[in-house]
Structure 1
């Protein structure tokens, strides 16, 4: 017999694996579909030079989850064996680690393609081999997540160097590789100033939500998750005041919002309640932010003036200026 704890665990796993549909996710699918069609046009001898799609948004906006879901939903992107029993990888998704240099990146991609990449090799040689392997593997889409990590500094030289590396991947002989670059707002540096990258790109933003403009969307997400958890939504959670608090507490990030609503619902279920209430959100925000009870955005009177990024400001050691020694008066 399945006990209550096991039932709740199964529900949490099921809900966490479910994609909450949003307008941004739907629009992203359309953009990826159009991008794939453009790649096919290029393979047939047509298309344009806009072979980079930049997807930019701050952490918590649901960007990475949406991209992973959409890319995994296309059967055309899945690896297969051709008539010569060779493995073809139409789409390759790579997450760039913070410590990666452009050379590390080339070696990492080469190894993902099943080729050798040696640190003793010259960087230019590695990128030449990478181009050959991308063409040989039939990789027409290369997704680079957290692409801004390859920009090791904000200097114009570093930015230009990374632009040149990306541009070099777009001019592979007889192979129209398409790049999907995703990352936080720092990534936008590659598309400002010099117009070589912008002239080869299209951009999609993952913006944050605001209140009251996006209250309806927030309410829809709240209702969707609660319903999938078998809960009702307490009436107090549908007021403009509470919806504004929820947006403030999550920084307007759809991903962070979904995470908080789920956590509040799980709390209500654990207490065997029939509806999710403000108390559940108060608990979740307090646990995740570490804020003082008086500064919990869900319940504080002056919540509009609070900043979730300063929830622990009271713990930051105060700078103590050294005491100045008094000079003795000259006799």
Structure 2
């Protein structure tokens, strides 16, 4: 009996890992891939013709859980033109560099993170290191520089510190000697940088928005079908109804990535209980586990769910993610 239990757990762990590893496609993925391909075409224009379009910045914005970081990561890791390689001198060339910024990233932190990503030491003052960073980016032939969690350059900064970040972005996207293109991804507040006219006219915005149940019902239905099938589970009929899809949308704040995570966890709960069918109770139990919600507060069970707010403990956790 113990051996059978251990085997079940091992098989379940393997299946859960397989399901987590599978990437689900966002409706915005292809459009974002096209934007990045346009950047690469613009870079090719620079090398072939000596000039290119001035717009070298891209702001990819959206609330937490909407899928922006996952989409960017996938594109940067799979576009053949952006993969690292060794040149004729056996030196490592990295056409794309992706950096996740820590909280409260002032310009000195940004510079240090670039050196770290290039596996280079960063010793000296910011004034000394900034031109060295530019030289290093050119030497490593970095064409696309991506800063994720870019809201950390905006949050809790003095005006002087924020303007310094703006100046650095301007310097990077207005580089005459090298056609560097910069992607900044993060919460919508990063668009404040574009209030600077030079950055505004040299950049574009690609927003990821929250889903709405009336127009995006098919998205939630599609995610339910795909994830449950990946887990080998049947869907109880009422999970296909508008009422349940509305509850799922509300509980996830309409965030595409959050919905995927919540559906997976509900499926894993069903599998742990050795069930072959996914039901509302699995979602309700996961919601309670995640928020501490009482029965009357549980969006998946309460009759007045449309009037409820997502449980405060969940809201607090997600607010913290967005800082």
TM-score between the two structures when normalised by the length of structure 1? 0.89
Tell me what 2:210 maps to. Answer: 208
Tell me what 2:134 maps to. Answer: 131
Tell me what 2:78 maps to. Answer: 73
Deviations 1:2-35 (A, max 9, x none): 8111111111001101101121223222222222
Tell me what 2:199 maps to. Answer: 197
- 1:59 and 1:165 map into 2 onto residues whose CA distance is 25
Partner residue of 2:143 out of 115, 140, 144 = 140
Tell me what 2:31 maps to. Answer: 27
Tell me what 2:269 maps to. Answer: 267
Deviations 1:216-259 (A, max 9, x none): 11101110111111112111011111111000000110010000
Tell me what 2:42 maps to. Answer: 38
Deviations 1:182-221 (A, max 9, x none): 00122111123x3211100111111011112211111011
TM-score between the two structures when normalised by the length of structure 2? 0.91
CA contact (8 A) 1:96 1:144 kept: yes
Tell me what 1:288 maps to. Answer: 290
- 2:104 and 2:200 map into 1 onto residues whose CA distance is 26
Map 1:1-331; keep pairs closer than 5 Å: 3-44=7-48, 45-118=50-123, 121-153=124-156, 156-192=159-195, 194-308=196-310, 310-311=312-313
SS of aligned partner of 1:142: strand
Task: Count residues with an aligned counterpart.
Answer: 310
Deviations 1:288-318 (A, max 9, x none): 12222210011111111112152579xxxxx
Structure 1 stretches of 4+ moved >4 Å = none
- 1:96 and 1:208 map into 2 onto residues whose CA distance is 23
How far is 1:54 from its partner?
A: 0.8
Structure 2 unmatched ranges of 5 or more: 316-323
CA contact (8 A) 1:61 1:256 kept: yes
Tell me what 2:321 maps to. Answer: none
Deviations 1:89-119 (A, max 9, x none): 111100000043210220221132233312x
* Residue 10 to residue 142, structure 1, CA distance change in 2 (3 Å): same
SS of aligned partner of 2:205: strand
How far is 1:159 from its partner?
A: 3.2
CA contact (8 A) 1:281 1:298 kept: yes
How far is 1:173 from its partner?
A: 4.1
CA contact (8 A) 1:152 1:158 kept: no
How far is 1:155 from its partner?
A: 5.1
- 2:40 and 2:167 map into 1 onto residues whose CA distance is 23
